[in-house]
Structure 1
Amino acid sequence: MNLTLETKRLLIRPLELSDAEAMFAMDNNPNVHKYLWQQPTQEVSETIKIIEMVQKQYENNKIGRFATILKETGEFIGWTGIKFVNDHVENGNTNFYDYGYRLNEKFWNKGYATEASLAWLDYGFNQMKIEKMNAYTHSENGASNHILQKVGFQFMEDYPDKDGAIWKWWMMKNL
């Protein structure tokens, strides 16, 4: 995949196998998984499989989650991006564009998720010409819910997952 996005502080590029160690460090942190089914990654081999799966999504869907790098230091701070969801049903939906992000805990509360989100929404609506984008967050994840609202997503409804946890369904339309 040949796409790179750039913001004032961030470089956003396709995930590479060389990101595995830094991504594993993020996904091994229980705090990062507090609102993500509480299952931190246990082995770097799991992370490698995830990166390979995302790379397949690039091939099949021409989009996916991207490594998000702090320009100033070159550090991998997490992943951000648009994913075409066609591998499962979420809140009764499949075959939709989903916006999401996950950042390493040491990069929380610095505005990086908002900065990346604005870049991705611009790309998705103006370059990809997506008509409607969705996002979903755990209902208790106040920070992520705030970010989605701040960048323009509209809250649509709460819904339960298969385990009974309540999630929030968000949507933004291309105007």
Structure 2
Amino acid sequence: MKIFLETERLILREIVPSDVDGFFELDSDPEVHRFLGSTPVQTKDQVVEAIRFIRQQYIDNGIGRWAVIDKNTNSFIGWAGLKFITELTNNHINYYDVGYRLIRKYWGKGIATEAAKASLLYAFDTLNAREVYAIADCDNAASNKILTKIGMKCIETFNHQGIKCNWYKIERNDPERDGLTKADNAVSKPDNAGR
């Protein structure tokens, strides 16, 4: 399996079919879905389909969300990373979106921030993206705090699928990007040989 990035505590790798149990723990939790405007999955078959969908994005768009793995335990923590959005969203289309979703027991440990920082570095340094966007429910204080912490700016509020959301953006030449790079020097692109 392909490893995209490593941070001090995390491995960010492709999502694979064997992630089904961890993915089910994540997506079956109603609290995880509280600000997503979606309902928790009920069966592992739904998770199998979600994994298939993400893996197809790797093929179609060259990018998709990544599994977040704890380096110490090799446990599936959730997913994070980039998604290439091909549907019209807030008058934008064909753009990179940074996102994250963690199993609840891993909340509040800085993991989403660490994974999101690494994802932005990958967007700018590997994909040569000009800009990256993100969406967060206005009421989701934790997610809004993470996006601000990684240097993204809330540029407007809009209605997304009936939910009032903040629309975030960071550009390649934003001054915050320099600080992000310096602050996250533990991020590396590993040699995938033997993995």
Name the TM-score class by shorter chain: over 0.9
Q: Give how far 1:4 is off.
A: 2.2
Identity %: 38
Q: Which residue of 2 aligns with 1:28?
A: 28
Task: For structure 2, list consecutive stretches of 5 or more residues without a partner in the other structure.
Answer: 174-195
Contact preservation (8 Å) 2:3, 2:11: no
User: What's 1:170 paired with?
Assistant: 168
Match of 1:128 in 2: 127
SS in 2 for 1:4: strand
Number of corresponding residues: 173
Superposed, 1:24-103 pairs within 5 Å as 24-86=24-86, 88-103=87-102
CA RMSD of aligned residues (A): 1.1
Residue 106 (str. 1) matches residue 105 (str. 2) = yes
How much does 1:69 deviate? Answer: 0.4
Distance 1:61 1:38, change over 3 A: closer
Asked whether the equivalents of residues 13 and 67 of structure 1 are also in contact (C-alpha less than 8 Å), the reply is yes
Structure 2: distance between partners of 1:160 and 1:105: 26
Helix, strand or coil: the match of 2:36? Answer: coil
Structure 1: state its 5+ residue gaps: none
How far apart, CA to CA, are the structure 2 residues paired with 1:117 and 1:41? Answer: 24
Structure 2 length as normaliser, TM-score?
Answer: 0.86
2:141 maps to 142
Does the C-alpha gap of structure 1 residues 162 and 121 become closer, same or farther in structure 2, counting only changes over 3 Å?
closer
Q: Distance in 2 between matches of 1:109 and 1:152?
A: 19
Letter in 2 for 1:11: I
- 1:92 Cα offset (Å): 1.8
Q: Which amino acid letter does the alignment assign opposite residue 132 of structure 1?
A: E
Quick one: higher RCO (CA 8 Å, sep 6+), 1 or 2?
Answer: 2
Q: Are 1:30 and 1:38, in contact at CA under 8 Å, matched by a contact in 2?
A: no
1:161 paired with 2:160, answer yes
